[in-house]
A and B are shown apart, each in its own frame.
Chain A
């Protein structure tokens, strides 16, 4: 199985900050990576697919980059609505696997 490792696990940050979350795969997954945002008690919401493609309706402050084994989710200027947990997911092959999550919290 492909293992996905996110860092950091928790990020204490402030409104307006630039945020970067890293996701590493233990083998190449090309660009078959998605990023999700999840708020407590809610379903995950797709933000980015194919490593860098922005899902429709997602604010442009979110961006994704990377290929192969290293990927980055960037939030250019954190907004109050962005405090949540973020997950990466590879869909290069089955079983699909997720990172352990990064909780973005208020400093």
Chain B
């Protein structure tokens, strides 16, 4: 069974940093591209970033480019999102999603507030 479990969310002050993790299981992680998608409270879905299976191709949404960094560790079947210079508008549930995206994790809430 495919499972994606995010962690690392929490409350952070504007300008602060946070690293999200996504632990994958039930599939061969190293052969799939992975994505981060977020959803602000009561709002729609917003794609954040994608990384291919070998980390040779990475894309970011314009709203996070230069502040967020996506990376992965295929040996640990894990995906990460390093978020720096956080702003109030980054407050959202962050989902890790496989390729399509077809499978999604349950999400982790990031709240940016003073």
Give residues in A with beta carbon < 8 Å to B.
1, 34, 36, 38, 42-46, 49, 55, 87, 89, 91, 94-101
Q: Would you call B102 and A87 a contact (CB within 8 A)?
A: no
Interface of chain B residues 1 through 49 with chain A (CB within 8 A):
35, 44-47
Q: Does B73 reach chain A (CB closer than 8 Å)?
A: no
CB closest residue in chain A, given B61: A95
Q: By the criterion of a CB under 8 Å from any partner CB, how many residues of chain B are at the interface? A: 18
Is chain B's interface secondary structure helix, strand, loop, or mixed overall? loop
Is chain A's interface secondary structure helix, strand, loop, or mixed overall? loop
CB closest residue in chain B, given A56: B102
In the complex, the 8 A-B pairs of residues with the closest C-beta atoms, listed nearest first: A43-B104, A96-B47, A94-B59, A98-B45, A101-B44, A46-B102, A100-B44, A95-B61
CB distance from B67 to the nearest CB of A (A): 15
Query: Counting chain B CB atoms within 10 Å of each CB, which of A36, A95, A98 scores highest?
Result: A95
Q: Would you call A87 and B45 a contact (CB within 8 A)?
A: yes
